[in-house]
Amino acid sequence: MQHSFKDRVVLVTGSAFGIGRASALAFAKAGAHVILADRDADTGTLYMIQEAGGVATQIPCDIADREAVSGLFFNILKTHGRLDHAFNNAGIEGLQGLTHEYPEEEFDRVIGINLKGTWNCMQQELTIMSKQGYGSIVNNSSVAGLVGFANAAAYVTSKHGVVGLTKATALEYALQGIRVNAVCPGIIKTPMIDRATGKQKEVEQHYAEMEPVGRLGQPEEVAQAVLWLCSEAASFVTGQALAVDGGWVAK
Ligand SMILES: NC(=O)c1ccc[n+]([C@@H]2O[C@H](COP(=O)([O-])OP(=O)(O)OC[C@H]3O[C@@H](n4cnc5c(N)ncnc54)[C@H](O)[C@@H]3O)[C@@H](O)[C@H]2O)c1
């Protein structure tokens, strides 16, 4: 079902590729004015939205940089005076490795973007939304926010942290008309996964076989869950970490 976001102001971080791009396109198709915030100044998403007759504004931003994040929200408020929905999606996979050998700088980088970067954005979003008295936020966690994966402790920790942040803030702002939820995708065919598979068909096939549904997910399938969670159709849903994972965590 297509939810209407007509004239809503929606922020999508990490909008240049993958799940962020698919979500930004879906929000724009549903009538939103989408704010595209990515550290990569790639204009592909903006172009695709405009080509399809949608409306978007691109504001480059590294979510790990608090000053840049302040600038992003200053810009949003200056132009729109409000923020209706936010999808905090930007994230990195980080290096793989055993914990006792893992470089400290890399641990800090993964936590700094995936967890603190999400928190940086949420502080601003919740400041705006609590003044408005409404709003909904979706954070992008992962199945790695629900179960453990070896050789990925930094990523797993950051994504479990995002689930914790989602639950705690959902409780803090529930009486103010603000809902906060998370999506927890399984293996989704995006540039992040292409980097992991090296685009080798046999590796991709191996990943597909790890999914109970026998295939990788598409970014558009996560986008649909994000739109639903943001929409009024999910008006009684808050503090949830929704697996969009082809059955992964049911194993
Ligand atoms: N693809 C998967 O299988 C999968 C599974 C579970 C969770 N996720 C999560 O979904 C989110 C999106 O993943 P994806 O697969 O689309 O990744 P991707 O690498 O394809 O795209 C990520 C986007 O985020 C941007 N980004 C990265 N760091 C940023 C920063 N500091 N500031 C602003 N933008 C930044 C990148 O430039 C890129 O456009 C991530 O949080 C990821 O952890 C992905």
Tens of pLDDT, residues 119-170: 999 999 999 999 999 999 999 999 999 999 999 999 999 999 999 999 999 9
Q: Is 161 in the pocket of ligand 1 (CB under 6 A)?
A: no
Ligand 1: distance of its center to the CA of 175 in Å? 31
Q: Is 220 in the pocket of ligand 1 (CB under 6 A)?
A: no
Q: Is 92 in the pocket of ligand 1 (CB under 6 A)?
A: yes
Q: Ligand 1, residue 19: give the atom nearest the CA.
A: 16
Ligand 1: distance of its center to the CA of 152 in Å? 16
With 80 as the cut, is the pLDDT of residue 219 above it?
A: yes
Q: Is 192 in the pocket of ligand 1 (CB under 6 A)?
A: yes
Q: Is 217 in the pocket of ligand 1 (CB under 6 A)?
A: no
What pTM, to 2 d.p., does this model score?
Answer: 0.98
Domains present along the chain, CATH in parentheses: 9-250 (3.40.50.720)
| Nearest to 8, CA basis, from 26, 18, 22 | 26
Give the mean model confidence (pLDDT) for residues 68-91: 98
Ligand 1: distance of its center to the CA of 220 in Å? 14
| pLDDT bracket for residue 3 (50, 70, 90) | confident
Res 43: pLDDT: 79
Rounded mean pLDDT of the chain? 97
Give the mean model confidence (pLDDT) for residues 214-239: 98
| pLDDT bracket for residue 1 (50, 70, 90) | low
Q: What percent of the chain has pLDDT over 90?
A: 97
- For atom 16 of ligand 1, the residue with the nearest CA is 18
- Residue pLDDT, tens place only, 159-217: 999 999 999 999 999 999 999 999 999 999 999 999 999 999 999 999 999 999 999 99
**Residues annotated as part of the active site:** 155
| pLDDT bracket for residue 42 (50, 70, 90) | confident
Of residues 23 and 3, more confidence is placed in 23
With 80 as the cut, is the pLDDT of residue 2 above it?
A: no
Q: Is 248 in the pocket of ligand 1 (CB under 6 A)?
A: no
Ligand 1: distance of its center to the CA of 232 in Å? 26
Res 160: pLDDT: 99
Mutate to test the pocket of ligand 1, among 11, 19, 204 (most ligand atoms within 8 A of CB): 19
